Amino acid sequence: MTLALSRRRLLSTAVAGGCAALLPAFPRSVFAASPVEDAVRLTVDRRTLDVNGKAAGVFGIRQPDGTHGLTLDPGRRFVVDLANRAGEDAVIHWHGQTPPYVQDGVVDNNRPAIRNGESVRYDFAPRTGTHWMHSHHGMQEQLLMAAPLVVRSAEDLRADEQEVTLLLHDFTFRDPTELLASLGAPAGGTAHGGHGQMDHGAMSTGAMNHGVMNHGSMDHGQAEHGSAHGSGHGMSGMSGGMAMDLNDVEYDAYLANDRTLADPELVRVERGGRVRLRIINGATSTAFHLDLGRLTGQVIAADGNPVQPVAGSRFAMSMGQRLDIRLTVPAEGGAFPILALREGAVQRTGIILATPGAAVEKVAAAGETQTDPLDLSLEKQLVAVMPLAARTADLTRRMQLTGSMAPYVWSLDGLTFGAHRPLTVRQGQRVELTFENASMMAHPMHLHGHHFQVVAIDGRPVAGAVRDTVLVPMMGSVTVAFDADNPGRWPLHCHNLLHMATGMMTEVVYEGVG
């Protein structure tokens, strides 16, 4: 039968057994033929994608009608039967959601991966906003095991606007583990916990040969596909002669809703109509500048949380982050490319908004000039609509972001996962955590099970956005605050999968949780 993990069940067992009850065995189960009537079925499977005229085997997370991902209306619980038909072990993390610990979608001693042919039911009260779902097992995320996860609010339904969801990704024809090894990562990887607690990008899981790569479709007359050391490396101008590293990998393509600019998605919009863009940077290792072109929009939410509107036409988005942008289509109509420009490079992807009858011109997949590195100019402008309650921190911690391109190992406080030092918290504490980046790359830091508020940038206090992923630039610092209100063992890691895979991860662990 299908395993059901309801919040009611978890709360009742927690009362009976304390924190240890939060760590039940996660038994395997075969998908039930008759799920409850209101459950949504999602299937993790394989599919073939056309990438610039070449067939590519990738993963998908789809509903029975083929819809990629999930959108829930206000008041609906997150009741999902997740069936694994991927041909290998898998697990899906509900990025941006704050479910009970055992439903977070990671693998550890208490939560095994979902085997092929099995299914697990998830049941919790969802958090509204623009979020996404992706694998947290091995390197599957690089092979597009990812999809949007949108939970609408009542206000969203009342708004007179068209919603357009855009999932960005980077793509390689190479096996992701070969790609990681080509960067000089240690054989076997380091992110596989030495304590057998978590598997978030481990190279040694035995599931790395996905069997979905179509190498026969590659044009070997071109430059090496998905080669290491992207074009953004070695940018000069840093203090003391230090060079900034931007892009670990030169990818074969950059995707917007699974398509490149050779054949972009065309979204029909009304003249004078209002549009809400829900943008998700689901790329494995690529940051983007979101460019509205001739349009001007307002950022109204970051990582699913409302912010005071910030106007502009170009906005920075690191890996794992989401932005909701509201814009108005000009009354005269036309075609309006919405582009994601790769950081420190010329490549780009995107979609096109077009009014009926508008002429749509082809958009080149490369711009004329390289873009700048991402900075925190937008982050400094974001102000939460619903900030954390004013309160003195009970626990403060500084954490250094460490590592290098050679050898290709990334870490926190000089420790890779498995040798890491968890951040131990108590239920009810206000925690302030300062990320200090001592490396030559920027790192988007993501905390599971919680949303935090950005409260300082480079030591200067701000009343920033509430979010779950924040970019920490090279040699910069960002302080975030969160309330310890969701007991468990929660991953805290860089959302560059290649960095996490080599060890840039630790845990936030509640006292009493084993």
Q: Is 332 helix (H, G, I), strand (E, B) or coil?
A: coil
The answer to whether residue 303 is domain-embedded is yes
Listed residues 154, 175, 202: the one ending a domain = 154
Listed residues 341, 374, 407: the one ending a domain = 374
**CATH number of the structural domain spanning residue 454:** 2.60.40.420
Residues 123 and 167 in one domain: no
Burial of 448-487, coded b for 16+ CB within 10 Å and e otherwise, reads bbbbbbbbbbeeeebebbbbbbbbbbbbbbbbbbbbbebb
> pLDDT class for 513, splitting at 50, 70, 90?
confident
Q: What pLDDT, on the 0 to 100 scale, is given for residue 11?
A: 29
Q: What pLDDT, on the 0 to 100 scale, is given for residue 503?
A: 96
The answer to whether residue 246 is domain-embedded is yes
Is residue 505 within 8 Å of 420, Cβ to Cβ? yes
Instruction: Name the least confident of 215-224, 315-324, 420-429, 481-490.
Output: 215-224
Angle 233-469-79 (CA atoms, 0-180°, nearest 5)?
Answer: 130
Tens digit of each residue's pLDDT (9 = 90 or more) over 347-401 = 999 999 999 999 999 999 999 999 999 999 999 999 999 999 999 999 999 999 9
Residues 362 and 239 in one domain: yes
Is residue 80 within 8 Å of 43, Cβ to Cβ? no
More confident call, 80 vs 8: 80
Q: What pLDDT, on the 0 to 100 scale, is given for residue 224?
A: 37
264: preceding bond cis by omega (within 30 degrees): no
Residues 249 and 135 in one domain: no
Q: What pLDDT, on the 0 to 100 scale, is given for residue 215?
A: 31
More confident call, 378 vs 18: 378
Angle 323-328-333 (CA atoms, 0-180°, nearest 5)?
Answer: 130
> pLDDT class for 243, splitting at 50, 70, 90?
low
Q: What is the pTM of this model?
A: 0.87
Angle 220-224-225 (CA atoms, 0-180°, nearest 5)?
Answer: 90
Residues 313 and 339 in one domain: yes
Residues 367 and 410 in one domain: no
| Residue of 136, 141, 133, 204 lying closest to 172 (CA atoms) | 141
For 432, other C-beta atoms within 10 Å of its C-beta total: 20
Tell me the HSE value of 182 on the side-chain side, using a 13 A CA sphere: 16
Tell me the HSE value of 237 on the side-chain side, using a 13 A CA sphere: 5
Q: What pLDDT, on the 0 to 100 scale, is given for residue 109?
A: 79
Residues 258 and 170 in one domain: yes
The answer to whether residue 199 is domain-embedded is no
The Cα 480–Cα 444 span in angstroms is 13
What is the mean predicted confidence (pLDDT) over 119-131? 97
Phi first, then psi, for residue 177 (nearest 5°) are: -70, -35
The answer to whether residue 215 is domain-embedded is no
Residues 174 and 316 in one domain: yes
The Cα 177–Cα 357 span in angstroms is 46
The answer to whether residue 382 is domain-embedded is no
> pLDDT class for 187, splitting at 50, 70, 90?
low
Q: What pLDDT, on the 0 to 100 scale, is given for residue 245?
A: 79
Q: Which residue has the tokens 């980046």?
A: 437
* For residue 214, pLDDT beyond 50: no
What is the mean predicted confidence (pLDDT) over 2-27? 34
Residues 173 and 312 in one domain: yes
Residues 291 and 413 in one domain: no
The answer to whether residue 41 is domain-embedded is yes
* For residue 44, pLDDT beyond 60: yes
More confident call, 231 vs 479: 479
Q: Is 280 helix (H, G, I), strand (E, B) or coil?
A: strand
Residues 446 and 328 in one domain: no
The Cα 141–Cα 243 span in angstroms is 29
Q: What pLDDT, on the 0 to 100 scale, is given for residue 207?
A: 32
The answer to whether residue 435 is domain-embedded is yes
Is residue 300 within 8 Å of 128, Cβ to Cβ? no
Tens digit of each residue's pLDDT (9 = 90 or more) over 452-491 = 999 999 999 999 999 999 999 999 999 999 999 999 999 9
Phi first, then psi, for residue 8 (nearest 5°) are: -60, -45
* For residue 235, pLDDT beyond 90: no
Task: Domain of residue 472: give its range.
Answer: 395-510
* For residue 219, pLDDT beyond 50: no
Q: What pLDDT, on the 0 to 100 scale, is given for residue 21?
A: 32
The answer to whether residue 188 is domain-embedded is no
**Number of domains observed in the structure of the chain:** 3
DSSP per-residue codes, 343-387:
TTSSBEEEEEEE-TT-------SB-SSPPPPP-STTGGG--BSSP
* For residue 253, pLDDT beyond 90: yes
What is the mean predicted confidence (pLDDT) over 135-146? 96
Tens digit of each residue's pLDDT (9 = 90 or more) over 428-439 = 999 999 999 999
Residues 62 and 96 in one domain: yes
| Residue of 304, 441, 457, 443 lying closest to 384 (CA atoms) | 304
Instruction: Name the least confident of 16-20, 84-88, 336-340.
Output: 16-20
More confident call, 492 vs 207: 492
What is the mean predicted confidence (pLDDT) over 333-345? 97
Residues 405 and 506 in one domain: yes
